[in-house]
Amino acid sequence: MNMGYTIKLVLVGDYRVGKTSLRRSYLGEHFRNNYLPTVGADFSFTEEKIGEKLFRFLIWDLAGETRFSKVRPMYYKGAYGAIVVFDITNRQNFENIDNWIDDFLKFSRKENCPIVIAGNKIDLVQDGKAEQAVSDEEINEYLDEIRKKLGKSHKIFFIKTSAKTGENVREAFNCLANEVANLLLSRSK
């Protein structure tokens, strides 16, 4: 078996949007928390076989409210992809995703690293417990705008998720993992 790759992915987004819950939901019973105090991050890892190759994904997750902290460059350093999370029932969280994406692009590897935007807590809307705070139309407009800004070769996805029910959680992580894997495999040719 080929040695495979070890790939860093980051979860970003405002405090309490559900980053840790998504990571926990994705990793299920294998969930292990590791804390890096110097970076203010939790991380865990998982292995996936994609094509014929084994990929080891290190999934970093901002611990607490470190939005304005000096450690951010270290948090993003070497990351190959990001899941940018907002709470779909909270308008401010949506308005802040542009900043999170800017940070990721500024501090990560700067090589068309794919981004999956997750509108989380969709269960609250489905159960009638809260309103969707941003319309699908507005989300699509934002996606058009950012795709135009970043160019065709930069992959940006959007998916509605629920860490509570598990809806689309695996899809979100798999989408990112596959895109990163393809990016790496296409480069190694």
Positions in the binding site for Mg ion (CB under 5 A): 19-20
Q: How does 122-150 read in b/e, with b if 16+ C-beta sit within 10 Å? A: bbbbeeeeeebbbeeeebeebeeebeeee
Judged by CB under 6 A, how many residues of this single chain contact ligand G3D?
14
15 binds ligand G3D (CB under 6 A): yes
**What is the nearest approach in angstroms of ligand G3D to the Cβ of residue 107?**
19
Distance, C-alpha 127 to centroid of its chain: 25
**What is the nearest approach in angstroms of ligand G3D to the Cβ of residue 164?**
4
Residues 98-137 vs ligand G3D: string with x where CB under 6 A? Answer: ----------------------xx-xx-------------
**Cβ proximity of 47 and 55 under 8 Å:** yes
d(CA 89, CA 61): 21
> What residues make contact with ligand G3D under the rule CB under 6 A?
15-21, 120-121, 123-124, 162-164
